[in-house]
A and B are shown apart, each in its own frame.
Chain A
Amino acid sequence: MSGVNLHGIWAIYRTEMARTLRTIWQSVATPVITTALYFIVFGGAIGSRMSHVGGVGYGAFIVPGLIMLSLLTQSISNASIGIYFPKFTGTMFEILSAPLNAVEAVIGYVGAAATKSVVIGLIILATATFFTDVRILHPVWMVAFLLLTSLTFSLFGFLIGIWAKNFEQLAIIPSLVITPLTFLGGAFYSIDMLPQPWRTVSLFNPVVYLVSGFRWSFYGLGDVGVGASLGFTAGFMALCLIALAWIFRTGWRLKP
């Protein structure tokens, strides 16, 4: 055997996808039901009393933000559980003893987590079309943002899974950091609607860039430039990769 351990990557990817399929109903039903609820509450009840945002109906306006909300939480939770679980059950020894390098292991785990996120993102998009009129101006960019965000936050989730020493730590970042940032990140409004100084403060929220870029790919309008959105996501991905490289080199939280 030389070159890349393709069988190893595939073994991890396949096992991770099988884990998802075991809980297929939770995996799919939860985001579909949640999305439907958001549309009923925000799109229907509140949105009917709201004016259009930048020429887009409120129901349609929140679609990219809703998808982004799911992508972030799903990517993080899938990838973090994927790598935390072997630590928890002790099966990590096998991953660590295998002829598999860091990149190969990450492709397997993060690839599977990102795949699941993308599928869920697409399911939410499909669900949304039942409730509102969704247009996609830049489909290629839409897919690009979908993939990039899923991958980046799956990487981030992978890091959390390695860092976490217990289930509380596993849950703390998504619930204490990601969810608030997403709600405050313009998923349900344009940050232009905020009074100062909150508008400026929002520009420090990384999720603003993700939602904005994604929304631009749908409707051609965003709170910040699409270049800034891409740059932010790519930069965050690079940070995650650097951290991962360091972890695998030193064995931090993996090897005594």
Chain B
Amino acid sequence: MPAILSIEALGKQYKSGHKALEGVDLSIERGEIFALLGPNGAGKTTLISIVCGTVTRSAGTITVAGHDIDHARREARQRIGLVPQEIALDMFSTVLNTVRFSRGLFGKAPDPAYIEEILRDLSLWDKRHARTMELSGGMKRRVMIAKALSHEPELLFLDEPTAGVDVNLRRDMWALVRKLRERGMTIILTTHYIEEAEEMADRVGVINGGRLLLVEDKDALMRKMGKRQLTLTLQTPLPAIPAELAEWSLVLAEDGLRLIYSFDAQAEDTGMPALLHRLSELGIAYRDLDTSRSTLEDIFVNLVEKAA
């Protein structure tokens, strides 16, 4: 079975001359949650918009479930649902009517039972006769999702689904995305919140300046790129790092009370046992010991800096 989405050598230059995307290759497997992670202006929205057909592309080919988005437009597009970054609704329409409209627009026969199901899932059923302009921001966003799901797409794009959304709504959104995935939906979301990618994604693609810097299994990425840190809280402050400890890259912090050792989590020999052994030989006593793993944020900052 072909990949649900395959992008090859995608390029986009806006009329202003700005190159928003260059040589992007990406393949998405069925059923995965893929997070496209990048700072503002990286080209995330441009990438999504091109796949969905709302922005033209300058170069490259794109297929959806093996269907070319130009030559088999209909087959490709009916498989895609899009929740754009900005909320855009027909203010005068009711919730029910605007969701029905979307289903029809995507070529599906009416299915009141299915529409009821998604509206109930999104806690919108009680509001089905309300005009969209009467709804709160969070509800409007859910209406956007209901519209995108109305035609039973296989591939759902969520462009910055939780930007400017409060914490509760963000949790709800994450729960919803997981539920959709359990039903077999493939989800591509963009975000500039590392936390979100870390929380949700199976795989992460890091994009910056229109280039896809890397695509990696999230856990593998964490393992491969992740640094670990050992923090020792000492019983008595050290004036300086003793010469006997020179072979470890150590940092002394908090007026000599904290000794921090950073090391590669992937390395065969982390050097940690040896360090602890040497400390006891030197008679340096510690009250507390803590290790932490770097977040995707650290990884991301690292990558972007390297690429710059």
Contacts and interface: CB of A to CB of B under 8 A. Distances in A.
Interface string A14-28: 110011001000000
B104 A89 contact: no
B105 A94 contact: yes
A11 interface: yes
Interface in A1-37: 1-2, 5, 7-8, 10-12, 14-15, 18-19, 22
Contact of B77 (A14, A98, A255): A98
Main secondary structure of the interface of A (DSSP, over half): helix
Interface stretch (B49-57, B198-206, B223-231, B289-297): B49-57
A11 B105 contact: yes
A5 B147 CA distance: 18
Given A18-B97, A94-B147, A256 B55 contact: yes
A7 B108 contact: yes
Contacts of A95: 105
B19 interface: no
Given A8-B105, A11-B104, A255-B55, A99 B78 contact: yes
Nearest to A6: B107
A196 interface: no
B56 A256 contact: yes
Given A15-B93, A90-B88, A91-B89, A99 B102 contact: no
Interface residues of B, number: 36
Contacts of B108: 1, 7
A99 B108 CA distance: 10
B86 interface: yes
Given A1-B74, A97-B77, A8 B84 contact: no
B14 interface: yes
Nearest to A255: B56
B90 A8 contact: no
Contacts of A8: 104-107
A8 B76 CA distance: 16
Nearest to A10: B104
Contacts of B88: 89-91, 93-94
Contacts of A96: 52-54
B118 to A, nearest CB: 16
Contacts of A255: 54-56
Contact of B74 (A7, A12, A99): A99
Interface string A74-102: 00000000000110011111111111110
B106 A99 contact: yes
Given A1-B74, A99-B106, A91 B53 contact: no
A109 to B, nearest CB: 12
A180 to B, nearest CB: 33
A18 B77 CA distance: 26
Contact of A97 (B80, B86, B100, B104): B80
Nearest to A86: B90
B56 A94 contact: no
Scoring B49, B97, B104 by chain A CB atoms within 10 A of each residue's CB, the highest score goes to B104
B246 interface: no
A251 interface: yes
B33 to A, nearest CB: 21
A90 to B, nearest CB: 3
Contacts of A90: 84, 86, 88
Contacts of B82: 93-94, 97
Contact of A12 (B92, B97, B105): B105
Interface string B131-151: 000000000000000010000
A94 B91 CA distance: 15
A35 B55 CA distance: 45
B15 interface: yes
Interface in B14-65: 14-15, 49, 52-56
B109 interface: yes
B66 to A, nearest CB: 16
B101 interface: yes
A5 B74 contact: yes
B84 A93 contact: yes
B179 interface: no
B278 interface: no
A176 to B, nearest CB: 29
Interface string B271-299: 00000000000000000000000000000
B100 to A, nearest CB: 8
14 contacts: A1-B108, A2-B74, A8-B107, A11-B102, A12-B105, A15-B90, A15-B93, A18-B93, A19-B92, A85-B90, A90-B88, A99-B106, A255-B54, A255-B56
